[in-house]
Chains A and B, each alone.
Chain A
Amino acid sequence: EPEVTQTPSHQVTQMGQEVILRCVPISNHLYFYWYRQILGQKVEFLVSFYNNEISEKSEIFDDQFSVERPDGSNFTLKIRSTKLEDSAMYFCASSDGPVGYTFGSGTRLTVV
């Protein structure tokens, strides 16, 4: 069964550093997403991406965040200057439309 692959599985970074989280969505999917889950809390939507542009973003997704699909296969989330409160599990997901959703296994980001 096709999978969404996320790398790395765990990243530790110093406050103020830039991080890039990587995702390889399912190849024939058209919609791409990033979600965040702070430890012990619910999963929150960050951003959706369709047709090579952001289709929707949440209030969390401020100027410190950006997404890219640089080469037609990878989908990346960049945090320019990390803060302690950015520590969370970040999930990538892709979809072929209304209901064909697949999540990756997540990247645990720890900001120290």
Chain B
Amino acid sequence: AQSVTQLGSHVSVSEGALVLLRCNYSSSVPPYLFWYVQYPNQGLQLLLKYTSAATLVKGINGFEAEFKKSETSFHLTKPSAHMSDAAEYFCAVRTDSSYKLIFGSGTRLLVRP
């Protein structure tokens, strides 16, 4: 069965600092992986997705993620945090059965002025 694990339920960074949100996956087949962002009381917005093409995936708002098969990881990074990046971030893996997504438990990013 496929799954994702997000390390750290809360991450706090200073404005302008590097953002690193961790996601590890478990999958017996090449995975399709996603990162979503959720702002308070809003829906899920796709940041980026890995579909077995380039291992470094660039997304919206300056975020990117690198697929590392040897580490079974798909960590999300942004070089310089902005106050508007404060939100909940979810990693997800697409399963082979019905193409449904399995979400991680989420990481809340706090950005300090």
Give the interface of A toward B (CB within 8 A).
Answer: 31, 33, 35, 41-45, 48, 50, 55-56, 91, 93, 95, 97-99, 101-106, 108
In angstroms, Cα B46 to Cα A91, docked, is 14
Contact B98 A44 (CB under 8 A): no
| Contact of B44 (CB < 8 Å), options: A43, A55, A108 | A43
Q: With a CB–CB cut-off of 8 A, which chain A residues contact B90?
A: 42-43
From known contacts A42-B90, A48-B98, A99-B49, infer whether A91 and B43 are also in contact, taking CB-CB under 8 Å.
yes
Q: What is the size category of the interface that chain B forms with chain A?
A: 20 to 34
Contact A97 B99 (CB under 8 A): yes
Q: With a CB–CB cut-off of 8 A, which chain B residues contact A101?
A: 34, 46, 94, 101
Q: With a CB–CB cut-off of 8 A, which chain A residues contact B34?
A: 101
Contact B43 A105 (CB under 8 A): yes
| Contact of B103 (CB < 8 Å), options: A43, A95, A99 | A43
* A-B CB contacts (within 8 Å), total count: 57
In angstroms, Cα B17 to Cα A30, docked, is 42
Contact A98 B106 (CB under 8 A): no
A42–chain B nearest beta-carbon distance, Å: 5
B94–chain A nearest beta-carbon distance, Å: 7
In angstroms, Cα B97 to Cα A31, docked, is 12
12 sample A-B contacts, Cβ–Cβ < 8 Å, listed by A number = A31-B98, A33-B101, A42-B90, A42-B106, A48-B98, A48-B99, A50-B98, A55-B97, A99-B51, A101-B94, A105-B42, A108-B41
